[in-house]
Amino acid sequence: MIVAAALPLVAEHGAAVTTGQIARAAGIGEGTIFRVFADKDALLDACTLEAMNSAHVLRELDSIPLDDPLDARLVQAAEALRAYLERMGTVMAALAASGHRRTRTAGDGPALGSRENAVTATRQAVTDLVEPDRAALRLAPEKLAAVFLRMLFSRSPQAGGEAEPSAAELVDVLLHGALAAPGGAA
């Protein structure tokens, strides 16, 4: 509850957020924070771990109805994954910009699971979304999931303020290619 209340404040203020602000947002006394966390750095570390936690997005992916059309399932997946990356990036950037560096090491807190495990679970969740359409696909669902995730996660700064492709545009290109008509000029 404390971390959930703190995350939006950390995203906004970085390490400059006060424990008083967090306590008010959580509806608790400030002293309660220090009964749960050794110090503010421990609370900020918990916020970092929560921002990186992929369990929320995996639940979102698992909740996408498999009877929706494939393009709709993939658009929902892209939107959920982009929102997760945005939340994580906002919190991490705010903490880094305000000078906070994680004080805990991997061995002195609850295990979140390795990055590899999160990537594998995400790839499997997307594969599961694609699987119902296996017979209609040129690629195996596992390969299509990998291509989809690479397209989604390979972001580069857009020149001249150009907007990045929407989730629907990305899925359309993935499923139907870039050509306007079959057999069109490349």
pLDDT at 98: 86
Same domain, yes or no, for 86 and 59? yes
Say if 86 falls within a structural domain.
Answer: yes
HEC profile of the chain? CHHHHHHHHHHHHHHHCCHHHHHHHHCCCHHHHHHHCCCHHHHHHHHHHHHHCCHHHHHHHHCCCCCCCHHHHHHHHHHHHHHHHHHHHHHHHHHHHCCCCCCCCHHHCCCCCCHHHHHHHHHHHHHHHHHHHHHHCCCCHHHHHHHHHHHHHCCCCCHHHCCCCCHHHHHHHHHHCCCCCCCCCC
Same domain, yes or no, for 132 and 86? yes
The amino acid present at 112, given as its one-letter code, is L
Domain that holds residue 125: 54-93+112-156+166-174
Give the residue among 156, 135, 134, 155 at the shortest CA–CA distance from 145: 134
Say if 61 falls within a structural domain.
Answer: yes
Are 101 and 92 contacting, i.e. CB atoms less than 8 angstroms apart? no
Say if 106 falls within a structural domain.
Answer: no
Give the predicted TM-score (pTM) of the model: 0.79
Helices 141-153, 115-130: axis angle to 10 degrees equals 120
Same domain, yes or no, for 41 and 118? no
pLDDT at 106: 44
Same domain, yes or no, for 12 and 72? no
Same domain, yes or no, for 38 and 2? yes
Q: Which residue has the tokens 């994680």?
A: 102
CATH number for the domain spanning 24: value is 1.10.10.60
Q: How many domains does the chain divide into? A: 2
**pLDDT tens digits, residue range 54-113?**
999 999 999 999 999 999 999 999 999 999 999 988 998 999 888 887 655 444 444 445
Say if 117 falls within a structural domain.
Answer: yes
**pLDDT tens digits, residue range 130-156?**
999 999 999 999 999 999 999 998 866
Same domain, yes or no, for 26 and 43? yes
